[in-house]
Chains A and B, each alone.
Chain A
Amino acid sequence: MAFFEVSNIKKSFGKTEVLKGIDFSLEKGSVLSIIGSSGSGKTTLLRCLNFLETPDVGTMSIDGKVIFDASKDKAMKEAEIRANRLHFGLVFQSFNLFPQYTAFDNITLAPLMRLTEQKLTKEEIKVKTEEIKAKAWELLEKVGLTDKADFYPCQLSGGQQQRVAIARALALSPDILCFDEPTSALDPELTGEVLRVIKSLKSSDSTMIVVTHEMEFAKNVSDEVIFMANGVIEEQGTPEELFENPKSPLTRAFLNKSLESF
């Protein structure tokens, strides 16, 4: 059994069925890219994985443990959802940093909040707070922004904001880090720095799911690529298979079109 298994995820908004049965699995430490044309359901899929949407049908499991089962979990408790969603981190297209906090505080806020919920002695809290701060510095180092720790989001470029957002997501040590078009809100000259950071995470063994329109990136970084069309996985394979030798005519048409745009 694979580390992360998604089976038969379906999701409708009103009468429109956006996801029509998604199955895939992911090994620990591997990178999955999801490509596909606009409206094919990529964002919806990521949102389902992160419990921002509740699938109508389907199951998800991590490490053999079922974390979502639509047939049972319709009325999953808030606390349970919170616990389960911590398996995932999500980096948004539009960063969504908290504007009133510095880069550093954006990273430490959620971990510190979790700390307040645990029953700990003063001494333990002190130790853990220091750990959280040390980790935040580490993460800032990882995304190359130690010198911007005290900057507010409005003082950072889009690329820097997105790197802080990546560090923020990593602060909770998610099992799987998801990215929804992390560079598509950025000026072209800023995409490189963000993609480099994501690439560097691969070498540190993070498991990642990246929705992207950057074909070069998908080709070079992923272990597995999924092409989505109209709410289904139209084709799936290694980057070589999918990019060099696409089987589905839909995939071929999509790839041709995205090559044309360059």
Chain B
Amino acid sequence: MALFFNVTLQLLEGLLYTLLIFGVTLLVALPLGLLIAFGSKSKIKIISAITRAFVWVIRGTPLMLQIIFFLFLPTSFSNIMQSIGIPVDLALRGEVALLTMVCVAFSINYACYFSEIYRGGIQSVPQGQYEAAQVLGMTKSQTFSKVIFLQVVKRIVAPMSNEIITLVKDTALASVVIRLDLFTVAKGIVNTKAILWPIFYAGLFYLLINGLLTILLGKLEKKLGYFKV
């Protein structure tokens, strides 16, 4: 019983870090994804080309690779600067710095996935909606914020939900860098205590979060059910 209690405590702590990575990523990637979507639709060719290429690279490589890349970026940058005689040292030290970089990698990765969903959502709003707003003398930003945005949200709740639930599970990838998240903690216990059940116990936690998310996102979908697009 003491073991169970102890494992639970450790897993709860891991859950906290998992939720932290999840929360920060969501908070950053949701707006950033919209920005990237605008970028890739930009009329300025160079902006849309660069944005699209960037999204293509991020979506075409494993998240784990990107985490490692972002982790070593500051170190490599510092090394290069030092080799040409500029004394900068940005190498990451300590948990907070590592965790921050992990969040950066997750945010950028997910922003790119979200951007594609936004893009699809924006494109699926009929041209007539823009034109109706236009002939009523609304500006472009008024049109987007007051007319288009909510219709986009309604159209993308379902695909977004899938990505968000994937994100919960993807937080386990943070283990390449820091050993704090739920999955890594569970794996650690399995290794040191030579027992298997904590890993399945951790699985319950994941299910719990995703169950909650499913309910919340379902509520949002229902809330937007008052209108049809």
Contacts and interface: CB of A to CB of B under 8 A. Distances in A.
Contacts of B151: 99-100
Contacts of B126: 96
Contact of A110 (B137, B140, B228): B137
Interface string B113-144: 00000000000001011011111111110100
Contacts of B146: 109, 113
A254 to B, nearest CB: 28
A169 B133 CA distance: 10
A122 to B, nearest CB: 21
A92 B128 contact: yes
Contacts of B142: 113
A82 interface: yes
B168 to A, nearest CB: 29
B131 A154 contact: no
A78 B226 CA distance: 34
A168 B131 contact: no
Contact of B138 (A88, A90, A113): A113
Contact of B228 (A88, A90, A154, A168): A154
Contact of A82 (B139, B147, B150, B229): B139
A52 interface: yes
Interface in A136-172: 152-154, 168-169, 172
A78 B139 CA distance: 9
24 contacts: A51-B135, A78-B140, A92-B128, A92-B131, A92-B132, A96-B128, A96-B129, A96-B132, A98-B129, A98-B147, A99-B229, A100-B154, A100-B227, A109-B136, A109-B146, A110-B133, A110-B138, A113-B138, A113-B142, A114-B137, A152-B226, A152-B228, A154-B227, A168-B136
Interface of B: 126, 128-129, 131-140, 142, 146-147, 150-151, 154, 226-229
